[in-house]
Chain A
């Protein structure tokens, strides 16, 4: 059991319970994610994929059921800072330099100044922005900001990385580049990743398994294992890749119908 990074058991989430605008966002979700896996959640809007991610992050509690991260309750994992998080909007703080943004979680954990700075520089090298340490976020392009946000989420070596459509606002070329970068970082750091997206090729390219969800109420419709081996830009033109894309697309069509 201990090698499971995430374990969701019969978790449901109901918003505005008992009111006229009650929403059954998630209905008895069961999901197990092993350590070092890369799992994407995909589904039509309103399927509760972001809500499920927030349940795992313990940013919102389940209405019923349980969520465990690294073998402990999700809230304990949050307090222990077991996971890093990245959002669709980079959400960098304009008033901090790029390096200081990456240092923020380290500051909250009480690292000393020189260790923080050294780690920030290490992370900037990892996301290939070493020369931007002392710039302000507003001077960076959207893709660069997102890379800083990823560096921030990884700066304290969390064993789990939670990502909510982090590349959703990027143009196609930057997006593909970022996906390749993310896979490289994932391989380097052996982090477990839970990734929310609404792009089918993105899900297939990144994941070891794709979780297809249906809407109203949010349920897991199917889990598609993806075994494409080590991926690079050629993978995108591989027939096996297209087969998986088709498989996920058909699964999504089935839930939309």
Chain B
């Protein structure tokens, strides 16, 4: 019990100490070389700006966060459904897979102005759609791989029990795909934040992180711009942690989870 506790403290303290050290070096280095903070504001200024503009940044983070979370969830759902269809039905595979590859090949950010024209320049819909499209592909590809990369003898075993296709999917393919899905979901969290903020440069609500970053930077208010970037980072980190927590709850049997728990 004591040893486990110490292990936990160690695993948390290392990144905290490293992070604090990095911030200290950043602060001191700027103090010595660029005291005016033209190029890069010191961390203390950024945190200061975050507190000064807290209401603005908080509202913006909520608006961007809404786009990120809704887009992320929709992208995960669509990706999983497409993967299930593709691995279950040959026709679905022939229709969906080339389409998905083609959609993925489109520089989706370049579509932002077009989506804006569809939904209206101030609507968040186009931004959500961009997040969905960006999240969809890695989730689709990874989950589909997890559904098909099954040990042959496990499928034969289910056949020997004369189990239905759906039962085999439920008992073997879906559990087998979970680690693949969660790897994709982790990647998707940061992808969703990037997609949302970049999409916001082109349109959507103006009280969101993207427009704030662009505005503040153009006014050379770098500390304020960085404060908004920091808010975006926090959204991404929070979502990542949530995915990891869900992953551990859903598959406590998985090797990567068990090793971390020290069993």
Contacts and interface: CB of A to CB of B under 8 A. Distances in A.
Q: A57, A84, A87, A139 — which one has the most chain B CB atoms within 10 A of its CB?
A: A87
Interface string A54-97: 10010100000000000000000011010111011101011110
Interface in B151-191: 151, 153-154, 156-157, 159-163, 167, 171-172, 175, 178
Contacts of B163: 108
B151 A95 contact: no
A136 interface: yes
A105 interface: yes
Given A108-B161, A108-B163, A89 B255 contact: no
A93 B171 contact: yes
A248 interface: no
The B interface is mostly helix, strand or loop, or mixed, namely: helix
A55 to B, nearest CB: 13
Contacts of B162: 78-79, 81
Contacts of B255: 94, 138
Contact of B157 (A85, A88, A96): A85
B221 interface: no
A206 B175 CA distance: 36
B153 A88 contact: yes
Nearest to A80: B162
B156 A85 contact: yes
A94 B254 contact: yes
A81 B163 CA distance: 10
Size bin of chain A's contact surface: 20 to 34
Q: A79, A108, A139 — which one has the most chain B CB atoms within 10 A of its CB?
A: A108
A127 interface: no
B251 interface: yes
Contact of B253 (A95, A104, A108, A162): A95
Given A87-B153, A91-B154, A57 B253 contact: no
A95 B179 CA distance: 11
B8 interface: no
A78 B167 CA distance: 16
A81 B162 CA distance: 7
Contacts of A162: 160
A164 to B, nearest CB: 8
A83 B162 CA distance: 11
B195 to A, nearest CB: 32
4 tightest A-B contacts by CB?
A: A87-B153, A95-B175, A91-B153, A85-B160
10 contacts: A59-B156, A59-B160, A78-B159, A83-B160, A85-B157, A87-B153, A104-B171, A108-B163, A108-B167, A138-B253
